[in-house]
């Protein structure tokens, strides 16, 4: 009749979940599970001493709790696992989830989950949930870090655990067999794991290109002509480095996607794992994109201040004085007007789309759009952004190349390097969207689907 009775019915459909250990993690997980409608049964060394447990949960001794449920979360530190040995027979055919973390990377020879499955051979051990903190579970603050890695030998057991994860608002990711547990356990101990590669690439590119420009723009004029152009260190050179690095990074965001599509095309199936490096690269695309966006922002700000820079105004003044002394005006150059407006416009629109891409990658926004919308924005719009930004840089540079008198040997090398990866991506993408190749890919994906449902 009313909502409560409906909810009550819903609750009855959920299977009871047992949690061994009433510490921080056990309690937080129990609270979330109860909110999601699961009956929760705690197993504790002191069942009477349980004032802090979430309301609605029941507490028993370990043995009694185990008898009441088919799925068990073990919220106890690895060092204390031996209490399970006498209870071994109660685990027969049950799913046992290992959520434990260690204090150091590779602290033990075998993963905690492997150790557990030796200790309790009758249980079906699944590793998971160790990447969420008790605090995040309790506060419901899962937006930023809702990913949980799950691995185990038994597919059905894994699905059960992944369903539970989903029902409490987490995003489970299947990592394969229990052999992956080592990696899954090391993950939370790494500092910014997804950011490491993007950070190294960005820092490397930035330093190299900066140094190159330093040599060509400051050191070379000083040594050969005794001209002191050292003021370029603070604005001119950074404003060349930022767009170049940004464009290279944006290219690197979309390169693994097109490479993966070609790999599928070559293999004729999409159900074969990608090589490890490609997987890793794909996983840090978002971070690469966000760094690229930050650099694009810097480029925009540095460009906006150009008119108020004293060095620039001084040069304009000198130019005007020179022209008036010669009593002549510069020629009216339509091509020049057009190309400057063109690259500025492409830069603005490209930057606008880039910001849009950044916004849609925020978890709170991507949760609000459905999968197709997200795919559309990130892939279609992403490649259009890349196209516009590449064109922006290309037209900007060709301006200088066509006018040989402005040609400096400092500009071309980093500039041309910045165009290489984006152009490769765009050409490959162009091939991929031609009707003939596109239909081939669709066929591969459809055929794979068919095979899977057989």
Q: Which residues bind ligand NDP (CB under 6 A)?
A: 21-26, 44-46, 75-77, 80, 83, 99-101, 130, 133-134
347 contact, one of ligand NDP, Cu ion, none, CB 5-8 Å limit per kind: Cu ion
100 contact, one of ligand NDP, Cu ion, none, CB 5-8 Å limit per kind: ligand NDP
> Is residue 26 within the footprint of Cu ion (CB under 5 A)?
no
Contact window for Cu ion (CB under 5 A) among 76-84, 132-140, 342-350, 373-381: 342-350
Residue 144 phi/psi, 5-degree rounding, is -75, -30
Nearer to Cu ion, 157 or 389 (CB): 389
Contact window for Cu ion (CB under 5 A) among 190-198, 234-242, 343-351, 412-420: 343-351
Nearer to Cu ion, 172 or 243 (CB): 243
Nearer to ligand NDP, 48 or 452 (CB): 48
Cβ atoms of 84 and 110 within 8 Å: the answer is: no
Smallest separation, CB 409 to ligand NDP (Å): 56
Cα 228 to Cα 150: distance, rounded to the nearest angstrom:
60
Nearest to 138, CA basis, from 27, 1, 259, 245 = 27
Q: Which residues of 121-151 are buried (b: 16+ CB within 10 A; e: fewer)?
A: eebbbbbbbbbbbbebbbeeebeeebebbbb
DSSP letters of 43-72? Answer: E-S-TT--TTSPTT-EEE-HHHHHHT-SEE
> Is residue 422 within the footprint of Cu ion (CB under 5 A)?
no
- Measured from the Cβ of residue 10, the count of other Cβ atoms closer than 10 Å reads 10
Give me the residues paired with residue 20 across strands.
Answer: 43, 74
64 contact, one of Cu ion, ligand NDP, none, CB 5-8 Å limit per kind: none
Nearer to ligand NDP, 111 or 418 (CB): 111
Smallest separation, CB 24 to ligand NDP (Å): 4
Nearer to Cu ion, 47 or 397 (CB): 397
Q: Which position among 30, 39, 152, 243 is part of the footprint of Cu ion (CB under 5 A)? A: 243
Contacts of 405 (CB under 8 A, 6+ apart): none
Nearest to 91, CA basis, from 112, 53, 62 = 62
Contacts of 198 (CB under 8 A, 6+ apart): 249, 284, 287, 288, 291
134 contact, one of Cu ion, ligand NDP, none, CB 5-8 Å limit per kind: ligand NDP
Cα 174 to Cα 159: distance, rounded to the nearest angstrom:
9
324 contact, one of ligand NDP, Cu ion, none, CB 5-8 Å limit per kind: none
Half-sphere exposure of 190 (CA within 13 A, CB side): 14
Nearer to ligand NDP, 141 or 311 (CB): 141
Smallest separation, CB 309 to Cu ion (Å): 16
**Length in residues, the chain:** 454
- C-alpha distances (whole Å) from 435 to each of 438, 440, 441 are 5, 9, 10
Nearer to ligand NDP, 116 or 253 (CB): 116
Nearer to ligand NDP, 49 or 370 (CB): 49
243 contact, one of ligand NDP, Cu ion, none, CB 5-8 Å limit per kind: Cu ion
Cα 145 to Cα 129: distance, rounded to the nearest angstrom:
11
Closest-approach residue to ligand NDP (CB): 23
> Is residue 347 within the footprint of Cu ion (CB under 5 A)?
yes
Q: Report the interface residues with Cu ion, using CB under 5 A.
A: 243, 347
């Amino acid at each position: 009749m009313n909502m409560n009775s409906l909810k009550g019915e819903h609750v009855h459909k959920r299977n009871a979940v047992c949690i061994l250990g009433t510490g921080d993690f056990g309690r937080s997980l129990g609270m979330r599970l109860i909110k999601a409608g699961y009956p929760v049964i705690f197993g504790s060394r002191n069942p009477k001493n349980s004032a802090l447990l979430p309301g609605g949960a029941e507490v028993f001794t370990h043995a009694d709790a185990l008898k009441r449920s088919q799925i068990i979360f073990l919220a106890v530190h690895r060092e204390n696992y031996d209490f399970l040995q006498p209870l071994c027979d109660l685990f027969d055919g049950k799913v046992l989830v290992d959520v434990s973390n260690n204090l150091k990377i590779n602290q033990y020879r075998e993963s905690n989950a492997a150790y557990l499955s030796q200790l309790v051979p009758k249980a079906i051990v699944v590793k998971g949930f160790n990447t969420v903190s008790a605090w995040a579970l309790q506060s419901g603050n899962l937006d930023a870090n809702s990913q949980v890695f799950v691995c185990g030998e038994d597919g059905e057991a894994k699905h059960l655990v992944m369903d539970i994860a989903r029902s409490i608002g987490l995003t489970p990711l299947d990592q394969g067999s229990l052999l992956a547990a080592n990696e899954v356990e090391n993950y939370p101990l790494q500092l910014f794991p997804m950011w490491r590669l993007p950070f190294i690439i960005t820092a490397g590119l930035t330093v190299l290109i900066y140094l190159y420009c330093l040599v060509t723009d400051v050191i070379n004029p000083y040594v050969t002509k005794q001209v002191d152009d050292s003021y370029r260190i603070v604005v001119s050179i950074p404003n060349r480095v930022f767009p170049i690095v940004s464009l290279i990074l944006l290219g690197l965001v979309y390169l693994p996607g097109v490479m993966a599509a070609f790999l599928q095309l070559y293999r004729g199936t999409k159900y074969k794992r990608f090589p490890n490096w490609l997987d890793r690269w794909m996983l840090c695309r978002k971070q690469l994109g966000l760094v690229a966006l930050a650099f694009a922002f810097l480029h925009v700000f540095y460009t906006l201040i150009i008119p108020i820079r004293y060095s620039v105004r001084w040069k304009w003044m000198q130019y005007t004085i020179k022209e008036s002394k010669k009593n002549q005006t510069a020629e009216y150059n339509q091509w020049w007007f057009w190309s400057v407006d063109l690259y500025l416009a492409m830069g603005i629109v490209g930057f606008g789309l880039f910001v849009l891409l950044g916004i849609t990658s925020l978890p709170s926004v991507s949760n609000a759009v459905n999968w197709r919308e997200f795919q559309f924005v990130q892939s279609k719009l992403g490649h259009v952004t890349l196209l516009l930004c590449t064109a922006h840089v290309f037209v900007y540079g060709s301006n200088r190349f066509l006018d040989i008198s402005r040609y400096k040997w400092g500009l071309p090398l980093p500039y041309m390097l910045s165009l290489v990866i984006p152009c490769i991506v765009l050409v490959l993408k162009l091939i991929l969207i031609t009707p003939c190749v596109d239909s081939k890919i669709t066929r591969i994906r459809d055929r794979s689907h068919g095979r899977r449902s057989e």
